[in-house]
Amino acid sequence: MGNLHSRKYTLSQNDFDSFLEWLDPDRESAGHKYEEVRRRLIKMFECRGCAVPEDLADETISRVIRIMGEISTNYAGDPTLYFYGVARKVHLEYARKSAVSLAAGPDMDDADDERSGAQREDCLNRCLQSLSAENRELILRYYGNEKGISIQTRKQLANELGIAPNTLRLREFRIRAALQNCVEECLKRYDG
């Protein structure tokens, strides 16, 4: 899937040491908390059908470390809980990028230049924003996996929504069709 963030961040030993100190003053305990947070993040991304759960967990941790200096002084409570809010944002970015890949479709070949890819992504983002929050969340979660949604994830998502798997597939089909039409109309405006 590639990097979610265009900026490269090099983690220094000092950054990591400060991070562990923030998790727990006892170094060994902090190490255990770090391992537990990473394990839970990986599990969370796996349950959401992500193809690269370890990478997404590492990206989440890296983002928390980058902003830790800003939040550590004002953050009250268990520091490990902060990761889950960041992980949700990382997942939404991942799902959006997966949806962009979906919107690119099989008809977009190597001859398409970077500009048309950027236009397509801009149109998809606009079209995603035009959906209801519920439909946007559904389609992003549905396509959060690069290879599509697994049967297990589909069942879990259907259960969460309180609907049958077939109803979920119908909703996804309608939302995807509406998105594709919206993207096509948006792209026509670029051409016109």
pLDDT score for 1: 42
pLDDT score for 79: 77
- The span from the CA of 77 to the CA of 81, in Å, is 8
The per-residue pLDDT string of the chain (192 residues; one tens digit each, 9 = 90 and over) reads 444 443 445 667 788 888 888 888 898 888 888 889 999 999 888 887 777 888 898 889 888 888 887 777 777 777 778 888 899 889 888 877 776 665 555 444 443 445 467 788 888 888 989 999 888 888 887 776 545 556 677 778 888 888 887 788 778 878 887 888 888 888 888 776
| Closest to 189 (Cα-Cα) out of 123, 93, 144 | 123
pLDDT score for 41: 92
pLDDT score for 9: 53
Q: What residue type is assigned to position 105 of the chain? A: G
User: Tens of pLDDT along 17-27?
Assistant: 888 888 888 98
Contact (Cβ atoms closer than 8 angstroms) between residue 175 and residue 131: yes
Contact (Cβ atoms closer than 8 angstroms) between residue 18 and residue 69: yes
Residue 72 contacts by C-beta under 8 Å, 6 or more apart in sequence?
18, 22, 79
Q: What letters, b where the CB count within 10 A reaches 16 and e where it falls short, cover 46-65?
A: bebbbbbbebbbebbbbbbb
* Opening angle at CA 85, ends 81 and 89, nearest 5: 155
- The span from the CA of 87 to the CA of 93, in Å, is 10
| Closest to 124 (Cα-Cα) out of 172, 191, 192, 181 | 181
pLDDT score for 144: 65
Residue 120 contacts by C-beta under 8 Å, 6 or more apart in sequence?
100, 103, 104, 108, 183, 187
Residue 116 contacts by C-beta under 8 Å, 6 or more apart in sequence?
108
pLDDT score for 143: 72
Is the Cα dihedral 74, 78, 83, 85 positive or negative?
Answer: negative
